[in-house]
Structures are given as C-alpha cells and as structure tokens.
C-alpha cells in the first residue's frame, strides 16, 4: 500500500505553516503603520529561545476607556483597542469587546485581557500578538538594560491583526533578518 493519504496529511502541515506566515505577511503588507513607546523585558523560554518582551504603553489601559463595568472582563477575553495618531506615538482612546467603528485615521488592534486590577485600580492589563521580539541572547540583554528609548513600529490590518515591523533604539532602527 502506497498510503496516498499520507501526502494529504503532509500538505495539511505545510498549509498550517503557510497560513502562519501568510497572516503575518498580509498584515505587514496591507496594515497601517503605528508607532508605540515600549519598555523591554528579557525573559527566556525553553521552547521558544531567547527573546525580548516589548511592553508597549498601550499594554495597560485606564479602566475608564471601557464602556460598562470593567469587572465583566475576564482573563483571556478578546478585546479591540482603538488607537488614534498622535506625536510622537499613537495613543489608545477606547477599548471594547467588538471591533468598533472609528474615524478614518484611527485603527483598532486586537488584544487579549491578562487581568483587570479593580483592587488598586491600576486598570486593564492586555497582551498583544506583536510583543515578543526574538533575537540573540546578547542583544536581548542589551535591550533589557536599555529600558528607555526603545520604540516599536507595528502594522495593523483591517481585521485588527497586529504585526511587529521595526524596533527602534534611540531613534535608530534595529537590523534583523
């Protein structure tokens, strides 16, 4: 038996990998460029290797930006953050469960709720899909020590997907393959 279905299963695996790349490339090609202020952190993941966790300023939002009772938000919930262009960085102006209607120069980017701090009222903590920058150990450590002067430029497409396009250190873009 030559197992013809085996090639269908392998094609499925190749399709999975292609879709992973395709979604990211689509966002980079068609998305709006958004610049954000960040603070880098340097964790290590045995499965994923050395990387820098880029914490954008929009990772923590004021609870007042959410219409309704913020205690209804649970960890793992998907929300959309509306970003408005400002100088030098874009800022968050609203957050909600549905993709919002927004002004022509605004964008809405998808995020996942990590937790909501109602005790000390520190706001809504979010996680985005573009926060991890994979690099060498040495560069990751340097970036972590940098702490300030690190910015990221992302692309946000019409579906709310965000993709990391550039990382700037003191205004200069980092080179990566």
Partner 1 sequence: MAEKDVPQYRRGWLEQLPGELTRWEQSGLISNEQAGAIRALYPVPERSGSRLTRFLTVMAVILIGLGVVLFVAAHWEEMDRWLKVTLLLVAMLGSYGSGWWLSYGRGSYPKVGRALILLGCLIYGADIFLIAQIFHLSAHWPNGLLLWSLGTLAVAWAAHDELPLTLAALLLGIWTASEQGDFGRLNGWYLLLNFGLVLPLVWRLRSRWALGLTALGTGLWWLVGTLEAQGHDVPGVAMVAVGLLGLALWGIAVYGAGAAMPRWGSLSLRLAGSLMALIGLFVLSFGDLLKNANLREAPLSVWPRLAAGVLLALALAGAYLLARRQRWEGIGAALVALAASSIWFLPGNAWAALPTNLALLAAIGGLLIVGIRTRSSLLLAAALVGFGADVIGRYFDFFWATLDRSLFFLAGGLLLLAVGALLERQGRRLARDWEVMEDA
Binding interface with partner 1 (CB under 8 A): 1-3, 5-10, 12-14, 16-17, 20-21, 24, 47-49, 51, 75-76, 112, 128-134, 136, 163-164, 177
- Which CB sits closer to partner 1, 93 or 174? 174
CB of 6 to partner 1, least distance (A): 4
CB of 45 to partner 1, least distance (A): 8
- Which CB sits closer to partner 1, 103 or 159? 159
CB distance 38 to 148 below 8 Å:
no
- Which CB sits closer to partner 1, 87 or 177? 177
CB of 30 to partner 1, least distance (A): 16
CB distance 31 to 155 below 8 Å:
yes
Bridge-based pairing of strands 123-127 and 132-134 is: unpaired
Which residues does residue 36 pair with via DSSP β-bridges, in sequence order? 152
Task: Calculate the CA 90 to chain-centre distance.
Answer: 14
- Which CB sits closer to partner 1, 77 or 106? 77
CB distance 113 to 124 below 8 Å:
yes
Going 71 to 76 to 80 to 81, the CA torsion angle's sign is positive
CB of 13 to partner 1, least distance (A): 4
């Amino acid at each position: 038996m030559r197992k013809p279905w085996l090639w269908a299963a392998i094609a499925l695996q190749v399709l999975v990998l292609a879709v992973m790349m395709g979604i990211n490339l689509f966002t980079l090609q068609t998305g709006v460029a958004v610049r954000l202020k960040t603070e880098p952190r340097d964790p290590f993941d045995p499965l994923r290797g050395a990387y820098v966790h880029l914490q954008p300023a929009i990772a923590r939002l004021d609870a007042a930006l959410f219409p309704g009772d913020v205690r209804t938000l649970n960890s793992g919930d998907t929300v959309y953050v509306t970003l408005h262009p400002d100088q030098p960085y874009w800022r968050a102006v609203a957050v909600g469960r549905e993709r919002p209607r927004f002004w022509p120069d605004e964008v809405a980017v998808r995020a996942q709720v990590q937790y909501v701090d109602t005790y000390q009222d520190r706001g809504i903590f979010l996680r985005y899909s573009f926060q991890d920058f994979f690099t060498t150990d040495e560069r990751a450590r340097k970036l972590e020590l940098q702490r300030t002067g690190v910015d990221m430029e992302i692309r946000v497409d019409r579906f709310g997907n965000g993709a990391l396009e550039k990382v700037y250190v003191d205004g200069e873009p980092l080179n990566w393959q």
